Chains A and B, each alone.
Chain A
Amino acid sequence: MTDFIYELKQVHKKFVKGQESVEIFDGLDLGIKRGDFVSIMGPSGSGKTTLLNMLGGVDRPSSGALLFDGNPINDLNEGQLAKWRADHIGFIFQFYNLMPMLTAEKNVELPLLLKKLSPKKRKENVATALELVGLGERAKHRPNELSGGQQQRVAIARAIVSDPDVLLCDEPTGDLDRSTATDILENLQLLNKEFNKTIIMVTHDPVAAAYANTSLHLDKGVFVEKDVAA
């Protein structure tokens, strides 16, 4: 098994809109190690979210190779990609993306509906995930009955409930106050350290980025700086 959970080799990404085409990445190379906590920073339009989308299999490189555990994922069709995401990826969004009409436990259960698990096992896993983020008492609450921080913790529980290899976080603290953001970041750090989850987090916030082991700085589709924690 390779040390790298992700490898990007000569990745190009071009967006075409009408007559105009914008090249986001022009031969990007990157390796992310299993169990790493990586933050990606950079100005708007630098390609952070595009990179995150490609790593999550929701967008494809225009050319180049994107390998996950040594296997190319950019050749998978939509159905295969959906299954790959269900098996390996947990998403955490800036605005939580919870289903407003479902309770916290039903939201957390969503990824488990894609697995062949009994309802009892699903319930157990949901309870464990909610306990882990400290929301066991709020299982029956709907998102509108929870604070922003609690909603994001439900989103984290949803992301980890199916035990994915990677958590992809898009500005996970962007909508939260500092104190709540700290709680969320500590949660992520715990998942990285205790559960060996590979975490890739896009953020504008240097304080948030400081929780990561590796900080990448992206500008105009090129990594201009790389900090690795001692």
Chain B
Amino acid sequence: MSALLPQIRTVVSMNILSLPQRMWMALTTLLAVAIVVAVLLAFLAMANGFQTTVKNSGSDALGIGLRAGSQAELNSGLSNEQVKLIVEAPGIKRNADGPISSAELYVVVGGVRKSTGLEANLSLRGIELDGVALRPGVEIMEGRMFTPGKNEIVVGRAVWRDYENFEIGDEIRLGTANWRVVGIFSANGGVYESEIWTDVRTVQTQFNRGNTYQVVRFALETPGDVEKIQAYSDNNPQLNFDISTEKEYFSEQAEGIFNIIFYIGWPLAIIMALGALAGALNTMYTSVSQRTQEIATLRAIGFTGLSAFIGTMVESLLLAILGGVLGTGAAFLFFDGMQGSTLGSSFTQIVFDFQMSRESLVSGMQIAVLIGLVGGFFPALKAARIPVVKAFSMQH
């Protein structure tokens, strides 16, 4: 073993020093690995960012009631009477004015993206005044809250940042009416930052929704406990609600889209990794072929096949790891913190930031190392098995 280490060190340094002889091939492999890692990390950062955004939006302390079977706010429909009845359910927190709740209406409106100039769907949410207090973390960053009964809107930070005509004081046409922007709010980076809020009754009027709502939110006496409220709805023939905590609701909404992003990212990365693997194999086979006489000469001198094997593996791993680092760097440079948006379950845009996580980085380097290991293994085996007689035969 003591003699093996200097052998390995020598073979490795010879392999690395000879890399410039096959610079373009080595660079191609390195870039192929870098692209695989960058694409994978981009998808993982997208999935991670989306999940974080949606997770930050839900609260255990808040209940949400939708018409049974509707799954998403856009599909739900509630009458004024149903809303008045459900908020009287046991388990809903009350203050001096009665139950702490907000019946809400949710409509899709158009906005123009600053980045593309194209129109995209946005959520206009009509809320009651308790709707703001119900959502911890919501703060007016600039301007003021809308005045009930007036065509005034407050816009989430992501809408203000990414869409045209949402500066304070701007007047914008949404549906059939003009609305004045009076405030910008933040919501801990959650999905509400991709919404526009106004008074629910103004939305009912301007969008001809009569006295109906789509969702009711309420504060829970015991965070996470919605069973009593669901039982109250189930036992009352006038009510037909699905009750969940807001956290559960958002998790369900996010899961499908997260899965799509996540499960596109990995197969795509794997398919690309196969391409990079072919490149790595080609590079390493070329490397071994170019060094056949050197390897055979070392073997003739007395070097072991194992040193040739390890030397080739180290070269392959080095290229793959450098590719992985390059890909990670590129992903950080181009994707970390980049803003993306995707259609939420209600066909409106949810804006989120790409987020690199430690797990993603580990996954990226793992795939790079795997390419290096597999791409190096078979050429390394070939190197270890080069007949020593080649040291003589190739010169004739």
Contact = CB atoms under 8 A, between A and B. Distances in A.
Of A87, A100, A110, chain B has the most CB atoms within 10 Å of the CB of A110
Interface in B293-349: 293-294, 297-305
Given A101-B18, A114-B3, A170 B392 contact: yes
Interface in B18-72: 18
B298 A110 contact: yes
Nearest to B390: A58
Given A58-B388, A116-B3, A95 B301 contact: no
A196 B300 CA distance: 22
Interface stretch (B6-14, B265-273, B351-359, B362-370): B6-14
A115 B3 contact: yes
Prevailing SS type, chain B contact patch? helix
A91 B294 contact: no
Contact of B7 (A78, A113, A170): A113
Interface in A63-101: 78-79, 82-83, 85-87, 91, 93-95, 97, 99-101
B10 A113 contact: yes
B302 A114 contact: yes
A92 B302 CA distance: 14
A59 B3 CA distance: 24
A78 to B, nearest CB: 7
B96 interface: no
A82 B384 CA distance: 13
B116 interface: no
Nearest to B297: A97
A79 B392 contact: no
Interface stretch (A48-56, A144-152, A215-223): A48-56
Interface residues of B, number: 27
A114 B304 CA distance: 9
B236 interface: no
Nearest to A91: B300
Given A91-B300, A114-B301, A97 B7 contact: no
Interface string B352-396: 000000000000000000000000000000000001110111011
A111 interface: yes
Given A49-B396, A91-B391, A78 B14 contact: no
A190 interface: no
A82 B299 contact: yes
A102 interface: yes
A168 to B, nearest CB: 9
B302 A85 contact: yes
B260 interface: no
A3 to B, nearest CB: 26
A56 B14 CA distance: 25
B302 A93 contact: no
Identify which of B300, B392, B393 gathers the most chain A CB atoms within 10 Å of its CB.
B392
B208 interface: no
A93 B301 contact: no
Contacts of B2: 116
Contact of A53 (B303, B392, B396): B392
Contacts of A82: 299, 302-304
B302 A83 contact: yes
B17 interface: yes
A113 B4 CA distance: 8
Contacts of B391: 58, 91, 93, 97
B392 A110 contact: no
A35 B270 CA distance: 63
Contacts of A114: 3, 7, 301-303
Most chain A beta-carbon neighbours within 10 Å: one of B14, B302, B304: B302
Contacts of B392: 49, 52-53, 58, 93, 170
A201 to B, nearest CB: 13
Given A93-B392, A95-B395, A101 B14 contact: yes
Contacts of B303: 82, 110, 113-114
Nearest to A122: B6
Contact of B302 (A86, A94, A99): A86
B395 A97 contact: yes
A85 B301 contact: yes
21 contacts: A49-B392, A49-B396, A53-B389, A58-B299, A58-B387, A58-B388, A58-B392, A82-B304, A85-B301, A87-B302, A91-B301, A94-B396, A97-B297, A100-B18, A113-B6, A113-B7, A113-B10, A114-B301, A116-B2, A116-B3, A170-B392
Interface of A: 49, 52-53, 56, 58-59, 78-79, 82-83, 85-87, 91, 93-95, 97, 99-102, 110-111, 113-116, 158, 170
Given A58-B387, A99-B294, A102-B14, 19 more contacts: A49-B393, A58-B300, A58-B391, A82-B299, A83-B302, A85-B301, A86-B302, A91-B297, A93-B391, A94-B395, A95-B395, A97-B293, A97-B297, A99-B297, A101-B14, A101-B18, A110-B303, A111-B301, A114-B7
